[in-house]
Amino acid sequence: MAKRSSPELLSLAEIGRRTGIAYGALRRIVARYLDQLPHQGEGARRRYYLEALAVFERLALLEGVSLPRLDLLRRAKVLLEHAAVHGVTGKKFEEKYRALRPHLESLPKATRRQIARLKGDESFGVELSAPPPQPSGERGPGTFRGPSGGKGSRPGGASRRKTPLGPGGPGKRRKVAGSQEKTRGADRPETRGNEAPRGAPRYANAVLLDGGDGPAPSPSRSLASEQELRLRLDIGPWSAASQVRDPVAIDTQLPRRDLWLDLLVTSTHFGVRAAGSGAYGQVARGRFFLPADGGAATTPEGEPSLDVFLKAPVAPGRAFARIAFFYRGAVVQSLRLEADVGVERGGFRIVVDYSVSHSLADLEAIPERPRVSVVVNDNDAATHQLVLRGGVSGAERLEATSEIEVAALARQVGELRARLRALAPTRRRRTRDLLKRDLEELAPLGWKLHAGLWKSLPSLAREPDSFILHVARPSTSSFTFPWSLLYDIPLDHDKLMRREVKLCPVVETWRGGGPLMEPGQRRCPEEARISHRENILCPFGFWGYRYAIEQLSSAKSVGVEIPVPEDFRMVVGKTRRLQDRKALEGHIADLRALLQRRSPRAVLEEGEDKATLRTLLGSDLPLVYFYCHGDTLAGDPHTYLGIGNNETLAAEDFVGWLVSWDRQEHRKVWDRVRPLIFINACHSVELQPEMLLSYQDAFIGGADASGIIGTEVRINPDLALEFAGRFFELFLGERKTVDQALRQARFDFLADGNLFGLVYTPYCWADLQLAGP
């Protein structure tokens, strides 16, 4: 076999295939040797050396790799670690640098590039390939990241070398000798048709190590109080060392271009710090570059893994931390670390409890819009943790976490929902006095709920039309917020008691004869004239009128477009227990006419009983609509959809249908066409901690529906028909997105002085829409 001129660690996958050593095992042995050799005792050093030596002996036979190169790589690693801690000045650094300088050609390109940046020595990095392309607006490897993981100056004050860019700007790679641009096409797996190319599955691997030189902690044993730990993260083939339980594989489809994933590790229990940072806080950040050729991810510095240090709390008990990966501001996967600390019996585990898709190729479907992302996390039975990330004003970056008491929050949400039920309107047109009363009752409760989140959400009100509020709900979280009903204009308690809070002129001057305001606005038209900073009652204080909000549960794929063929179907599940059947018949006739205008071959099918509905739902379709009662039983928090004549459809009933379709009939429903489900029933999406299975879990998590729209509280049936009719008119007829249609329907009701639209909650992408005829 011909000898390779410059084998590198980056070719470990190929080396593994030729030597018969599993890629993951090969990478672990080499990485472990390089990382641990300078820090371990004599016995450990010898063990690591013998493992690595055995690998490279086999390598030498097949690839012609000289064994001294292993020591050279170790010396380069020591040089980089020395520079990160002590800078690039001093006698020791110069000695190490001069010793490596003659061996330029034997070092991997990534290592040469790192040393070139440290020293500002262009000749040390000759023939380097241009860095991978960056998605627009995102920072790439050309931006130096200091020891804390943030953007900063280079150790020792050395100047930063700029990333070379081609004439097309940051989105294109400059063609240079030896660049990835030159070889990428030959190495990339074959593309079949319009599908993304396929490679090996990739996983988010995580392992908890000792923070110093001690043995790694055992998952079956409790952590010690104030124990320092190293959380090592990587993205690549499944690692046998990973401690992630039941990992979610990102399947073999590859993205069509290189991707950058942002990372946040947060905790309100553990101290958290990035490698090289001295102080523990609550947040550590990082980035991973995922090449489109299917290779393992690397950090901006070219490392195959990223370390975050944790410090266990002092008090004994249960401690939690969250690991979240982001793309285009959206949470794409999240893991939870839960550990027992300072107790006699215990342990720790790492679980994947949220994944937006099982395909990296799918991530390109995520709309590229500014987002503020919120991950709702159950720390334990007593507290929730909120993790926030996003840019909200120019270059401002929001990265924070906070803890909220479950009991206090549940009381506030319960009080708000109780007032909504008590104030539920029975007619669409409201008088000014009724609208004023609704604002006086609901705005203080919405502000009270918002005030509990204020320390984490201080900047969201500045630019309501510039971003999406993106809420990720992991499977371990059993509670959600009525985000649309949060009120973000501060209200002074004493002024409220003395009725000294002003009424917005938009409401004050309205006489009910015409619309309250023009539709389609995100800000109050009186805001420029009358201060809305505090102590004013205005409909625009509610988030449902100001912000685009998307709430997501785990899914198998990103559902932003629902493909609609010319002969598509819409299924309507309905109840027979109605006082006004003619109103429902007219409503369904209007929906059928909407379908016909969209496509003459489209059909609407009605499920008037449970058996018929089961048959109709057992195949792909784009739209499902329930108009029925939302029934509850005493002492049971679950909602049951009342359909047909005294029949109920529980969430677990639908899960049973899925199991039967899969096991007995060997078919998967909602596969290529994933429906939007509109549940026009009381309490259809209200979530409480006691709920074991909700309709979100059944329809989205179980059947992979594109989304659900439902109600928070009891609703008037006549208003429910009007609101749903207007939504479908906009979504079906005018081809609006879910956010556009829902917010426009809310504004149409608000124009009549009615806050009714705020009780409808979407659980889907804000940009979800039908794509077809």
**Rounded CA separation 76/303 (Å):** 13
Predicted pLDDT of residue 166: 25
Predicted pLDDT of residue 155: 32
Predicted pLDDT of residue 50: 55
CB 205 within 8 A of CB 235: yes
Higher pLDDT, 315 or 686: 315
Answer yes or no: is 535 within a domain: yes
Same domain, 660 and 767: yes
Predicted pLDDT of residue 321: 94
**What confidence tier does 391 reach under pLDDT thresholds 50, 70, 90?**
low
**Rounded CA separation 539/487 (Å):** 9
DSSP 560: S
- Calculate mean pLDDT across residues 211-218: 88
Domain assignment of residue 113, given as a range: 9-151
132, two tokens:
């991978």
Share of residues in the chain with pLDDT > 90 (%): 38
Encode pLDDT of 402-416 as tens digits: 788 877 888 888 899
Encode pLDDT of 158-172 as tens digits: 333 322 222 222 333
576, two tokens:
């027979």
Q: Which of 291-295, 567-571, 638-642 has the highest mean pLDDT?
A: 567-571
Predicted pLDDT of residue 240: 83
CB 554 within 8 A of CB 354: yes
Q: What is the DSSP string of 332-351?
A: EEEEEEEEEES-SS--EEEE
Answer yes or no: is 390 within a domain: no
Q: Is the pLDDT of residue 642 over 90?
A: no
Same domain, 530 and 592: no
**Rounded CA separation 159/16 (Å):** 39
Answer yes or no: is 189 within a domain: no
Q: Domain end: 350, 366, 382, which one?
A: 366
Predicted pLDDT of residue 743: 92
Encode pLDDT of 423-448 as tens digits: 888 899 999 999 999 999 999 999 99
- Calculate mean pLDDT across residues 84-107: 69
92, two tokens:
């020791």
- Calculate mean pLDDT across residues 293-322: 91
Half-sphere exposure for 50 (CA within 13 Å, toward CB): 6
221, two tokens:
């044993």
Q: What is the 3-state secondary structure (H, E, C) of 58-93?
A: HHHHHHCCCCHHHHHHHHHHHHHHHHHHHCCCCHHH
Task: Give the other-Cβ count within 10 Å of 372's Cβ.
Answer: 21
Answer yes or no: is 192 within a domain: no
**Rounded CA separation 169/273 (Å):** 34
> What's phi and psi for 154, nearest 5 deg?
-75, 145
Q: Is the pLDDT of residue 1 over 50?
A: no
- Calculate mean pLDDT across residues 37-66: 52
Answer yes or no: is 184 within a domain: no
CA 385 and chain centroid, separation: 15
Residue 136's contacts (CB-CB under 8 Å, 6 or more residues apart) are 170, 171, 368
| Summary mean pLDDT of the chain | 76
Higher pLDDT, 61 or 741: 741
584: nearest Cα among 724, 760, 708, 754:
724
User: Looking at the DSSP assignment, which residues form a beta bridge with residue 758?
Assistant: none
- CA-CA distances (angstroms) from residue 368 to 10, 137, 264, 482, 740? 31, 10, 20, 25, 17
**Rounded CA separation 170/137 (Å):** 9
Same domain, 624 and 723: yes
Q: Which of 93-97, 347-351, 391-395, 714-718 has the highest mean pLDDT?
A: 347-351
Encode pLDDT of 536-560 as tens digits: 999 999 999 988 999 998 888 888 9
Same domain, 310 and 210: yes
pTM: 0.72
**Rounded CA separation 322/303 (Å):** 22
Answer yes or no: is 187 within a domain: no
Residue 425's contacts (CB-CB under 8 Å, 6 or more residues apart) are 434, 716, 719, 754, 756
Predicted pLDDT of residue 465: 62
Higher pLDDT, 686 or 766: 766
User: Looking at the DSSP assignment, which residues form a beta bridge with residue 290?
Assistant: 259
Encode pLDDT of 361-380 as tens digits: 788 889 888 888 888 877 76
Residue 301's contacts (CB-CB under 8 Å, 6 or more residues apart) are 114, 141, 145
**What is the number of domains present in the chain?**
4
**Rounded CA separation 155/485 (Å):** 49
Query: What's the maximum distance between 2 C-alpha atoms anywhere in the chain?
Result: 90
Q: Is the pLDDT of residue 49 over 80?
A: no
**Rounded CA separation 222/595 (Å):** 60
**Rounded CA separation 207/749 (Å):** 52
Same domain, 588 and 698: yes
Encode pLDDT of 472-526 as tens digits: 988 877 666 789 999 989 999 999 999 999 999 999 999 887 888 887 777 888 9
Same domain, 572 and 521: no
**What confidence tier does 628 reach under pLDDT thresholds 50, 70, 90?**
confident
User: Looking at the DSSP assignment, which residues form a beta bridge with residue 643?
Assistant: 647
Answer yes or no: is 165 within a domain: no
Same domain, 433 and 485: yes
DSSP 364: G
DSSP 605: E
Query: CATH number for the domain including 571?
Result: 3.40.50.1460
Answer yes or no: is 173 within a domain: no
Same domain, 533 and 566: no
Predicted pLDDT of residue 165: 20
3-state percent helix, strand, coil for the chain, nearest multiple of 5:
30, 25, 45
Sheet strand arrangement including 707-711: 603-607, 569-574, 623-627, 676-680, 707-711, 760-763
Predicted pLDDT of residue 110: 64
Rg (CA), the chain: 29
Query: CATH number for the domain including 270?
Result: 2.60.40.10
Predicted pLDDT of residue 44: 57
**Rounded CA separation 232/245 (Å):** 15
Higher pLDDT, 121 or 142: 121
Encode pLDDT of 246-283 as tens digits: 787 766 567 778 889 999 999 999 999 998 888 999 99
- Calculate mean pLDDT across residues 415-425: 88
Same domain, 506 and 543: yes
Sign of CA dihedral 603, 609, 611, 613: positive
Share of residues in the chain with pLDDT > 70 (%): 68
CB 755 within 8 A of CB 431: no
Q: Is the pLDDT of residue 19 over 70?
A: no
- Calculate mean pLDDT across residues 146-162: 32
Encode pLDDT of 55-94 as tens digits: 555 554 444 444 455 556 666 766 766 666 566 667 777 7
Encode pLDDT of 712-735 as tens digits: 777 888 899 999 999 999 999 999
Q: Domain end: 320, 340, 366, which one?
A: 366
Q: Is 136 exposed, middle or buried (0-12, 13-18, 19+ CB in 10 A)?
A: exposed
Q: Is the pLDDT of residue 238 over 70?
A: yes
Same domain, 111 and 34: yes
Same domain, 344 and 431: no
The β-bridge relationship of strands 244-245 and 348-355 is parallel
Same domain, 650 and 572: yes
Q: Give, for 623, the enclosing helix (H) or strand (E).
A: strand 623-627
Encode pLDDT of 501-511 as tens digits: 999 999 999 98
Q: Is the pLDDT of residue 31 over 50?
A: yes
